[in-house]
Structure 1
Amino acid sequence: MRASPLAVAGVALASAAQAQVVQFDIEKRHAPRLSRRDGTIDGTLSNQRVQGGYFINVQVGSPGQNITLQLDTGSSDVWVPSSTAAICTQVSERNPGCQFGSFNPDDSDTFDEVGQGLFDITYVDGSSSKGDYFQDNFQINGVTVKNLTMGLGLSSSIPNGLIGVGYMNDEASVSTTRSTYPNLPIVLQQQKLINSVAFSLWLNDLDASTGSILFGGIDTEKYHGDLTSIDIISPNGGKTFTEFAVNLYSVQATSPSGTDTLSTSEDTLIAVLDSGTTLTYLPQDMAEEAWNEVGAEYSNELGLAVVPCSVGNTNGFFSFTFAGTDGPTINVTLSELVLDLFSGGPAPRFSSGPNKGQSICEFGIQNGTGSPFLLGDTFLRSAFVVYDLVNNQIAIAPTNFNSTRTNVVAFASSGAPIPSATAAPNQSRTGHSSSTHSGLSAASGFHDGDDENAGSLTSVFSGPGMAVVGMTICYTLLGSAIFGIGWL
């Protein structure tokens, strides 16, 4: 999991249990609602555009304590901050505390400590959470998972907990006990709420009011065309799977003036589909080509690439193709890749250069530090993605933005094929396409006829928003979890 250095979008999810599926719905700015029909449970909660990432309102313990947790396909533990953790109790101007809630074991009649001092998770930026493992009831709007194993963050630099839904082999316990435990997706199957350990993700567009993660099935109304399945790649070609890593075969930029294939010196492009990452991280050289296409510039002040906000209105897109020339392709428009720097207040503006006076936005493609690279929410919103943890496959199709219809199809049984999916032919697990263009023919179309870049961004910002941006950088979670068996 890796979150944007700046707040982008926070979304609260609610759950629905449906014949052999469990669905968490997203709805924007509405009070909680719960309805029951035909043995199913449908729920919706409000969209909070404050923290980067997607958040789920849950209850932990008996009676249930309300906590909001971040959904993360890039990690595997459910963990909650302890009500006694310093980050929750020592509130100050620089530390707002655990505003999304915390957990007090003394207030739960069903709390059972199962691993004192054994919960220890660390992220690549140095942030961490440490404490105990425990078991307790875990509820999402009427759907109760009994005796779920979770981490209790007694000492944490992170103010909110997470719902990790990845492979067991990526659990934090691997590094402390050299063992794994049944995590949330597996327990859902063990308690017969779903047939197979799999789920599908439909984040919808950046400003959408609805979206969902559906455990145990797919929704055929949430994508266009056909679902295409591709193989998940294990580290070093082994049989142990730890991340949702796939072969990213090519990235192309298309505008009214042409199409360019972005190039990279990397021998292999391995990318992880990670909902806990708000942005998309490509190799340095490939990211720089993407920036040149749209006129983005790297800001040392912010530690990321930025663009004029008006770029989001440009008629163009980036295409991501997976597992070879015949693999699935997802187009991501500029409207999904240009993001506000922070939530609330006036945006900072360029104070000099060709974009003087224009509002500054964050660009959704950033530079990664090494393989595997990360396809976060700026990519995932444009895709309907099925994660099959039994068959070690991903199925993907272009999303059907703002669909109001639903047709849920459950996995038939444990290990059954992904419903409605066809395997990509001639899959490449390691290669990628090479750039054959000279120059950037698509760039002028992105720039609306102006090939000038944004210019030097050192000390060119103006406006009161910069103080807020700086504080947001300091307090927003950053970093993939590094524990257990990982990529080397």
Structure 2
Amino acid sequence: MKFTDAVVSLLAVAGTCRSAVIGQTSSPALKLSFNKWHGPTYEDSSLERRSLVARDNKNVNFEVENQQNFYSVDLQVGTPGQNITVLLDTGSSDLWVTANTNPYCESNAGKKDRKGADESEGGAVQSDISVLMGTGGGPTATSESARTGTYPSQSETGPGLAGSPPKATMDCSEYGTFDVQNSQSFRSNKTDFYISYGDGSFASGYWGTDRVNLGDLSLDGVSFAVANETNSSVGVFGIGLPENEATFTPDPSLQGFHPYQYRNFPQVLKSKGAINRAAYSLFLNSLNASSGDVLFGAVDRSKYTGDLYTLPLLNPEPEKYKNPMEFDITVQGVGFMNGSSKTTFTTTKIPALLDSGTSLVYLPQALAKGIAHKLGGSYHDDIGYYVIDCPPENDDSKLVFEFGGFSIKNSLSNYLLGSPDKVNDDQCVLGILPSNVQAILGDVFLADAYVVYDLENYEVSLAQASFDDSKEDIQVMSDSIPGAKKAPGYSKTWSAPASVKSGGNIFTSSTGKGKRDRVAATATSASGSARSTSGVPVSSQDVANGFSPSMLALLNAFILSFIL
């Protein structure tokens, strides 16, 4: 492949232009710029980060307009290329697109996709699949199926719609659908695909390979799924770890499944010589910016300040999986600062997922409550969020996440989903939710972080993001991540669940005179309270129930899943 210096705008899908830009240089690196959309759903989103609207101040009945962020990328799939919009996601690992026969699409009710079920020509299929398969027991070109079990007929039931046929209510033409019959290069590998999400959305279909074009870069033999039935109007461009592929982490209810891994998009880029290393850098840009970018195979030094520190990924289930499945890292403390005032909420080690497919931040219940209390807020059951007093416009308050020798500072403004300024401008909804399932650092955190995802070494590197629009300083990855060094607390990772305890001091350097204080607050009687060394009250019941079930929080986590 000949690399040029051209920057190529992808063709826009019919309707609103939700495009990406592909940049290629003479060095093996690929820059993909994406549009950032904000709104309750992708269909109702806009490039502008909108504020909340208060309908009734007395009842705190907010309409949360800016719940989610979406990062759209336009691909050309097949031969000739068909324009399709997908949503970029580091929290999943598969590329899937919507078939033109999806019965949830208007005018498609009753249609069936025949080509995926037909016998494919042997020689061409074997050539394409051999490029994509890993070394561990995946299906071959001659195997009839990767498994003997079958999925339930989605046209009869559909996940979450038991007993109901699909309702053709979506206009799928805006974001594009894939017609396998019109692609000369598509090959089905005759294995089933299925994925579901916490918000009730799902996609069901089959796997295959075809050509994928991004600007001037054309990749043959890319493995992806064709969803001939999905209640989501737009597909997903997952670029996570291979261990998190749908073929490797199947639905546990399926019978006879034989898990396997394949080369997903970052790995295909490396195998085709487009990049030297299966790794990429993510720069979401400020939350108010209309675009961000992902740089495959390189680091842009102009996009961050200070040092780039490396952390190992966690593997919470080593007895089941040899390697980490997701981008989970250890948070070693959380604090708050406003000018010279500094508060430490906790120094309890917390496993947290870095996920660009999640808009907000989810923290253990006791910690989320402690932060909201520090900000003078309280939880409102009727809307499922913490509500705080809005800070002044010139407020410089920051949430601080400590990772073992370095920290990422987040502007508090990132966490304000918006202010009901048309009716009542003294209250704001806080973008931190309690979760007893998993801590997640979503977009409101990632906006202030420059993150390098190393799929080969199972590591991530983080630095404070820079928004000064300085000239690009791109350094290509090879045997290592340019400019990165191990964090001082690299080996001090989370190892077992523990109740979140208040206290400690993340603002005192672990080297030099001040040794970090990790003494937890002592809880009083059940009716009393514990107070951290920083003066943040946390009830003893909150501390004891740091990971206790909270159905409302779990429901919120599901509703705010990235794909609708």
Q: TM-score, normalised by structure 2?
A: 0.65
Q: Structure 1 residue 202: deviation in Å?
A: 0.6
| Counterpart check, 1:202 vs 2:202 | no
Q: Deviations over 1:221-278 (max 9, x none)?
A: 11001111111112234631210111111110112472222248xx741111111111
Q: Could you give the per-residue CA deviations for residues 383-442 of structure 1, whole angstroms, max 9, x where no partner exists? A: 000011111111110000142410111112xxx121111111243111788524736968
Deviation at 1:97, TM superposition (A): 3.3
Structure with the larger strand share: 1
Query: Are 1:393 and 2:462 an aligned pair?
Result: no
Residue in 2 that maps onto 1:435: 503
**What is the one-letter code of the residue matched to 1:429?**
T
For 1:63-462, what aligned pairs fall within 5 Å after superposition? 63-89=80-106, 95-98=169-172, 99-116=174-191, 118-174=192-248, 175=250, 176-237=257-318, 239-256=322-339, 258-263=341-346, 268-307=349-388, 314-322=395-403, 324=404, 326=405, 328-340=406-418, 357-358=424-425, 361-371=428-438, 373-412=439-478, 416-427=479-490, 428-430=492-494, 434-436=502-504, 438=531
Give how far 1:296 is off: 3.7
- Note if contact 2:280-2:298 (Cα within 8 Å) is conserved in structure 1: yes
Structure 2 vs 1, CA of residues 82 and 369 (structure 1 numbering), >3 Å: closer, same or farther?
A: farther
Shift of 1:330: 0.3
Structure 2 CA distance for partners of 1:304 and 1:153, relative to 1, 3 Å: farther
Give yes or no for the alignment of 1:13 onto 2:30: no
Amino acid at match of 2:484: A
1:384 match: secondary structure:
strand
The 1:177–1:253 alpha-carbon spacing in structure 2 relative to 1, beyond 3 Å, is same
Deviation at 1:480, TM superposition (A): 9.2
Deviations 1:78-105 (A, max 9, x none): 0111222133226999955334322222
**Structure 2 gap segments, 5+ residues each:** 1-16, 38-45, 50-65, 109-165, 251-256, 505-520, 522-530, 537-555
The answer to whether the 8 A contact 2:365-2:436 is kept is yes
> Is the 2:34–2:291 Cα contact (8 Å) retained in structure 1?
yes
- Deviations along 1:341-366, one digit per CA (max 9) or x if unpaired, are 8xxxxx5877xxxxxx2376542222
Cα distance in structure 1, aligned partners of 2:167 and 2:198: 26
Q: Partner of 1:339: helix, strand, or coil?
A: coil
Q: CA–CA distance in 1 between the matches of 2:362 and 2:339?
A: 25
Tell me, yes or no, if the aligned pair for 2:344 and 2:534 is still in contact at 8 Å. no
Q: CA deviation at 1:59?
A: 1.4
Deviates more, 1:58-67 or 1:218-227: 58-67
| Residues 251 and 268 (structure 1), Cα distance of their counterparts in 2 relative to 1, 3 Å cut | closer
In 1, Cα distance between equivalents of 2:323 and 2:243: 7
The residue that corresponds to 1:451 in the other structure is none
Secondary structure, aligned partner of 2:445: helix
Task: State how far apart, in whole Å, the 2-side matches of 1:263 and 1:306 are.
Answer: 22
Aligned counterparts of 2:386 and 2:93: Cα–Cα separation in 1: 30
The root-mean-square deviation of aligned C-alpha atoms, in Å, is 3.4
Cα distance change of structure 1 residues 23 and 359 upon mapping to structure 2, 3 Å threshold: farther
Q: Structure 2 residue aligned with 1:55, among 72, 80, 90?
A: 72
Match of 1:15, SS state, is strand
The secondary structure found in structure 1 opposite 2:184 is coil
Distance in 2 (CA, whole Å) between partners of 1:113 and 1:439 is: 59
Q: Percent identity?
A: 31
Question: 1:304 deviation in Å?
Answer: 3.0
What is the distance in 1 between the residues matched to 2:481 and 2:284? Answer: 19
C-alpha distance in structure 1 between counterparts of 2:381 and 2:270, whole Å: 47
Q: Find the residue that maps to 2:33 and give its secondary structure.
A: strand
> Given that residues 29 and 296 in structure 2 are in contact (C-alpha distance below 8 angstroms), is that contact kept between their aligned partners in structure 1?
yes
Letter in 2 for 1:430: W
How many aligned positions are there?
407
- Change in Cα spacing, 1:310 to 1:253, as seen in structure 2 (3 Å) is closer
| Worse-superposed segment, 75-84 or 361-370 | 361-370
Contact 1:52–1:476 (8 Å) recurs in 2: no
Q: Distance in 1 between matches of 2:398 and 2:414?
A: 9
Larger Rg: 1 or 2?
2
3-state SS in 2 of match to 1:226? strand
Does the 8 Å contact 2:232/2:563 carry over to 1? no
TM-score (norm 1): 0.75
**Letter of the 2:486 counterpart:** A
Could you tell which deviates more after superposition, 380-389 or 19-28? 19-28
Q: Which has the higher contact order (CA 8 A, sep 6+)?
A: 1
- Asked whether the equivalents of residues 13 and 54 of structure 1 are also in contact (C-alpha less than 8 Å), the reply is no
